[in-house]
Amino acid sequence: MSFVRNAFLVAAVVSAANALPNPKRSESSDLQWGPCPARMNFTSAYSYDCATLTVPLDYSNSTDGRTLDLQLLRVNATNQPSKGAILMNPGGPGGVGTQFVAGTAAEVQTILDGEYDLIGFDPRGTGNTIPYACNDTSSSGSKKTKRQEFDIPEPTFPEDYDLLELDIDDMSMAQLVGVLQNELSDLQVVAETCAADNEEYGEYIGTAFVARDMLRIVDALGQGSLLNYWGISYGTVLGGTFAAMFPNRTGFMLLESNVNLHEYMSGAGIQARATLDANVDALFEQCMVYPEECALADDHQTVESLAQNYENLVAALDQQGIPMNDTDDEIDGGTVRNYMLSNLYNPSEWPEVAVALKVLYDGEWETFYNMSRPPKEGSYNKGTEALLGIRCGDSRLRSDNVTDLEGLIEIQLNVSRWFPLQPTLEGMTWVAWQQEAKERYNGDFQVKTQTPILVLNNAYDNITPLISARNTSSGFAESVLLVQNSYGVSQDQ
């Protein structure tokens, strides 16, 4: 993963960070930094050390004496003396903060002129911090997995993405609700399995508790009372939640590639796909602007014909999938849609997407199948279903009856031409979920923080759209919104 390289934006980040007063160092820090455990043998351009911080398991029950150990990783400032520490979160939810900081230290230190210590930690449910994982539920009746998650490894249980093949134009709402009710029943089996596998700790991994963990980290660092923080994607939810819960403890905060905070908590799932179509359309437009870099372009093509070719291909695969030899998988319309969803993040990689589509048009099914497979999961992050455990547990959207959601579904169906059912299908997972976070932030995200927040977003971000960043900035008084006029996700450029 790489970060914003626009000189103006980098300068703004440095300027905002440098505006902070130098923290007063404390000799009473609770952290003992030393060599990291052997399992944390991460690739990094810089050396790093580790510490462990013990925090309460249940912040909502002062009589519960149980605790957990947070694993922290530090990359020291390269330009000493350090001006303080900045906590980082890579998103997800489910991203591993320690591994992220180690792997991106060179880029981040370049942006920050090497003047700050970088701190990564493994939020609850991830890494080795009460990791959230579910047994394989392939016998539950759901169809085989084709989904590729955006920020973390693919869940181990099936999810019925063949539903993406439905021709909803020819279905009544009652028919669609019936199909979705069956999907909900399948996902309830998954939810039951995950709840049973994580009965002891599943309700303690919500975002509000992680925000409280960050407050403990700040206190343990002994560098003053304010949190300095850089959060990306879901990391903007974590940062925004901290700022709303503890506005007087908020120092430098950069929220990059923003999730709609209200929709995240409610489970509505509308704005996250607001500019998805624009990115698909832009892919075809750029093919004609730079034909030498696009495998789909030739003298006989137009933007309209490229879009029509794609639509025809997906429709044909919806009607008849292509079985893959020696597997139970097939390439169908859902496979192609999920590939597109997972590979529009960085416009510099769009030529590779064009190659993949050309492979499909040429009937090289096995080649595309191999290209579309999700990357193998690393061994460090034991929280293989942390995205679901955290995201679904935080959401307030619950129902046993899809008819209760008809109004929301009608809105969701109009969000995307290319992926009309995507928001609804994702929402079905947290609708079915059984475990709920022990604490949720239920406020309105309308606060004035001790230090103004810097909100950063691409104008045409494919998954964390600008409208969400505007929403966030409007709630935090005196915050500043910086917009980069480009497609894709800002940290991937």
pLDDT, position 168? 61
Whether the per-residue pLDDT at 66 is higher than 70: the answer is yes
149-153, 317-321, 371-375, 388-392: the lowest-pLDDT one: 149-153
pLDDT, position 24? 52
In angstroms, the CA 441 to CA 209 distance is 10
State the average pLDDT over residues 380-396. 92
- The predicted-structure confidence for 277-313, as pLDDT tens digits, reads as follows 999 999 999 999 999 999 999 888 999 999 999 999 9
pLDDT, position 474? 97
- The predicted-structure confidence for 438-483, as pLDDT tens digits, reads as follows 999 999 999 999 999 999 999 998 889 999 999 999 999 999 999 9
| Residue 205 φ/ψ, nearest 5 degrees | -110, 15
Whether the per-residue pLDDT at 269 is higher than 90: the answer is no
State the average pLDDT over residues 144-166. 35
Non-local CB neighbours of 392 within 8 Å, separated by 6+ positions? 191, 429, 430, 433, 435
Query: To the nearest whole number, what is the mean pLDDT of the chain?
Result: 86
pLDDT, position 172? 80
Non-local CB neighbours of 66 within 8 Å, separated by 6+ positions? 56, 57, 58
Q: In the chain, pLDDT over 70 holds for what percent of residues?
A: 85
pLDDT, position 16? 65
pLDDT, position 176? 85
In angstroms, the CA 331 to CA 164 distance is 13
Question: In the chain, which segments carry CATH 3.40.50.1820?
Answer: 7-130+202-269+438-492
State the average pLDDT over residues 56-80. 97
User: What is the Rg, in whole angstroms, of the alpha carbon atoms belonging to the chain?
Assistant: 23
Instruction: Measure Cα distances from 159 to 37, 119, 184 in Å.
Output: 35, 35, 11
Non-local CB neighbours of 460 within 8 Å, separated by 6+ positions? 275, 278, 279, 282, 466, 486, 487, 488
Residue 111 tokens, joined: 């942006």
pLDDT, position 155? 32
Residue 428 tokens, joined: 């079905």
pLDDT, position 205? 98
CATH architecture of 7-130+202-269+438-492: 3-Layer(aba) Sandwich (3.40)
In angstroms, the CA 408 to CA 398 distance is 13
pLDDT, position 304? 95
- The predicted-structure confidence for 157-211, as pLDDT tens digits, reads as follows 333 334 444 556 667 888 888 888 988 999 999 999 999 999 999 999 999 999 9
Q: In the chain, pLDDT over 90 holds for what percent of residues?
A: 62
Whether the per-residue pLDDT at 72 is higher than 70: the answer is yes
Please name every residue paired with 86 in a beta bridge, in sequence order, or none if there are none: 118
Whether the per-residue pLDDT at 100 is higher than 60: the answer is yes
- The predicted-structure confidence for 107-118, as pLDDT tens digits, reads as follows 999 999 999 999
Distance of alpha carbon 330 from the chain centroid: 27
Pairing of strands 250-258, 227-233: parallel
- For residue 423, give the H/E element and its range: helix 422-432
Question: Pick from 237, 192, 95: which is nearest to 153 by CA?
Answer: 95
3-state secondary structure of 23: coil
Dihedral sign (CA 249, 251, 256, 262)? positive
pLDDT, position 162? 46
- For residue 83, give the H/E element and its range: none
pLDDT, position 142? 32
pLDDT, position 11? 58
Torsion of CA 187, 188, 191, 193, to 10 degrees: -100
Contact 484, 478 (CB under 8 A): no
Non-local CB neighbours of 247 within 8 Å, separated by 6+ positions? 447, 448, 449, 450
Question: Pick from 220, 238, 265: which is nearest to 95 by CA?
Answer: 238
Token look-up 């137009």 returns 302
Tell me which DSSP letter residue 34 carries: B
Spell out the long-range contacts of 313-320 with Cβ–Cβ below 8 A and sequence spacing 24 or more: 313/357, 313/360, 313/361, 318/165, 318/167
pLDDT, position 21? 58
- Looking at residue 275, its amino acid is T
3-state secondary structure of 2: coil
- For residue 475, give the H/E element and its range: helix 466-475
State the average pLDDT over residues 8-17. 60
In angstroms, the CA 214 to CA 239 distance is 10
Name the more confident of 143 and 446.
446
Contact 179, 162 (CB under 8 A): no
pLDDT, position 376? 66
Name the more confident of 418 and 149.
418
In angstroms, the CA 452 to CA 12 distance is 13
Whether the per-residue pLDDT at 242 is higher than 60: the answer is yes
Where does the pLDDT of residue 492 fall: very low under 50, low under 70, confident under 90, or very high at 90 and above? low
In angstroms, the CA 208 to CA 212 distance is 6
Contact 234, 259 (CB under 8 A): yes
| DSSP H helices in 21-134 | 97-111
pLDDT, position 81? 94
